[in-house]
Structure 1
Amino acid sequence: MARAGQRILVATLVAGALDIAAAVLLAIQAGRTPDKMLRGVASGPFPEAVHWGLGGAALGLAVHFAIMAVMAAVYILAADRLPALKAQRLLAGILYGIATWAAMNLVVLPLRWPAVFPHLDPQSVATQLFCHIVLVGLPIALIAARR
């Protein structure tokens, strides 16, 4: 179990850093500041965080990595019990990226912000699928396959 914990930590840090870097770039491209984007992340569980300045942004970063830790733990613990996930790590990583996109964009975000989500325009879907597949699903699957 200790080895699984190490892989979960590494996967959380790698996928979390890649995904948040993409989110920062997308926020800047959209004319938003990274701290505002991070306060938006924090406002999921803490609605008033949008008004908390840098503290709210720091909380948003923590929330992001907490969500990523759950995503990594679910996959890695499953992969330790289902050898096919390790044997077919590229396909499994792609499918997990799609699954995490669906969970976040079709369930989690619409439950919290039903008037705003889901964003299903082709560009948004393509961008988010790319991020979830390449920056989340594949890194987690590749790290899960390590011994």
Structure 2
Amino acid sequence: MTPDSVPALTRNHAVTAIAIGGLVAGAIDLTQACILFGWDIPLSIARGLIGARADQGGAAIYLLGVFLHFFIAFSFAAFYYAVSRRLRFLVEYPLLCGLIYGAAVQEVMSLIVLPLSALHARGPYSLHELIQGLLVHMVVIGLPISFSVRKFAR
């Protein structure tokens, strides 16, 4: 291996870790959301960007919601990867760090993303909703991302 190939190899590992982590987390999260809340969840996601126009439905708006969902999942995977380059314990302890990261993702979504979206969702949330959201995101978002980074971006 030449010194010139090291940056390309590192970049390839980053892309792989982010792509697999974001894809797995996004797919599991979207599937569980559709099972729990109905198959029109992508329309609700699109509503967060374009507002009430998403209620018109249609394939394009549905696909926009799916795209936005995966964009967010890949963004959270990229953030975890970037931080893991400085905080190596994120790679060394993926179970604990993934669970904590998933809880943090839930809080960022609830306290920042949703209130700033066209949905303006601010709660109040029931205790059941809070616990369910935390547990789901800890497992279906945090763990796939943390283990993907551990596997592909050491």
Alignment TM-score, normalising by the size of structure 1? 0.88
Identify the match of residue 49 of structure 2 among 41, 45, 48: 45
Which of 8, 16, 24 pairs up with 1:14? 24
Pair 1:2 & 2:12 matched = yes
Match of 1:23 in 2: 33
Residue 127 of structure 1 pairs with residue 132 of structure 2: yes
- Report the structure number with the largest CA radius of gyration: 2
State the match for 2:146 in structure 1.
141
* SS of residue paired to 2:81: helix
Q: Which residue of 2 aligns with 1:81?
A: 86
Task: Find the aligned partners of 2:18 and 2:123 in 1 and give their Cα distance.
Answer: 28
Once residues 17 and 124 of structure 2 are traced to their aligned partners in structure 1, the CA distance between those partners, rounded to angstroms, is: 32
Q: Deviations over 1:87-130 (max 9, x none)?
A: 1211111110111000001111122233x433520111111111
Structure 1 unaligned blocks of 5 or more: 29-33
Q: CA deviation at 1:80?
A: 2.4
CA distance in 1, matches of 2:136, 2:147: 16
Percent of matched pairs sharing the same residue: 32
Runs (5+) with no aligned partner, structure 2: 1-10
Query: Number of matched residues?
Result: 140
Q: Larger relative contact order (C-alpha < 8 A, sep ≥ 6)?
A: 2
Matched, 1:59 2:64: yes
Which aligned pairs between 1:72-111 and structure 2 lie closer than 5 A?
72-111=77-116
Q: How far apart are the structure 2 equivalents of 1:143 and 1:80?
A: 14
SS of the residue 2:68 aligns to: helix
* Distance in 2 (alpha carbons) for counterparts of 1:119 and 1:14: 30
C-alpha displacement at 1:23, in angstroms?
A: 0.6
CA RMSD of aligned residues (A): 1.4
TM-score (norm 2): 0.85
Q: Distance in 1 between matches of 2:31 and 2:114?
A: 20
User: Match for residue 6 of structure 2?
Assistant: none
